[in-house]
Amino acid sequence: MATREATQTIERTEVIAAEQTESLAAALDIDVPHAAGDMVPPLWHWTYLLERGPERELGEDGHPETGVPAPPGPGRRRMFGGGRVTTHGGLVIGAPATKVTSIARSVEKEGRTGPLTLTTVRQDILQHGELVIREEQDIVYRAPGSSALPRPAVKPPRNDGPKLELVVDERLLFRFSALTYNSHRIHYDVDWCKQEGYDGLVIHGPLLALMMGEHFRRQGIDLRGKTFAYRFVSPLTKPQKITIAPSAKGLEHGAEARGADGTVAAVSTLTEA
């Protein structure tokens, strides 16, 4: 159930069900415990406590035109720039939790492709009366008709250590969109991708961030008591294999996501909260 206060705050409470964790594990082709009392893996909270607005509130691009955040003007192109997740504890399957969403700040800037509005959304997730996760997401709104983002030069990997690979194809994009209730057309509509300046379906930024978190988890690095900060550097388009590698300082300090051609698509850091 969701409630709104002056459209600047949304509060949603629901039972943390097993099905979302089970479904995401299936999409990633892994096994993850998902019985009542088990913990939702780090960053997998992105499949829970989602806003489910009616179809009439969606814009032409598939994004909601109301809610938190609402686009600052008609025709603005929305991008997910990055964010910060501080994990204070584990989200427990089988118990209710509440997410409170609000606008932390919004500023106007001039970017390489024209005027930008940078909006930071804050989300607090509470369970059993305690703060479990505090998150900030940086949303970028570009001007209508702005050109596609330039791709950075491909640099050779400079990091050693364990790697994690994932083959991303149309099936996974479809499943991840469904699990995160993401109706942005750049992830499933090739013709719309061309309108926004992309040469193919766009791999979800949150999927890249989640896989960096997965690399920590699978290597035994606990995110509790830490802040995971991530930034999207370059969009990845078309089906391809992505590689998650340690940062130059080592995996305990961060990771990066690269496309099949070596393009750095996302970077992250891990610090004490």
Q: At what angle do helices 170-179 and 205-218 cross, to 10 degrees?
A: 90
Is the pLDDT at 68 greater than 80, yes or no?
A: no
Query: By residue range, what is the domain housing residue 183?
Result: 2-272
Is the pLDDT at 148 greater than 60, yes or no?
A: no
Strand ranges, E, within 143-253: 164-168, 226-232, 240-246
Q: What is the pLDDT of residues 157-186, one digit of tens each?
A: 666 799 999 999 999 999 999 999 999 999
Q: How far is CA 94 from CA 29, 91, 128, 131, 179, in A?
A: 23, 10, 12, 17, 18
Residue 14 burial (CB count, 10 A): 14
Q: Domain total for the chain?
A: 1
pTM: 0.90
pLDDT of 6 reads: 39
CATH classification of the domain holding 34: 3.10.129.10
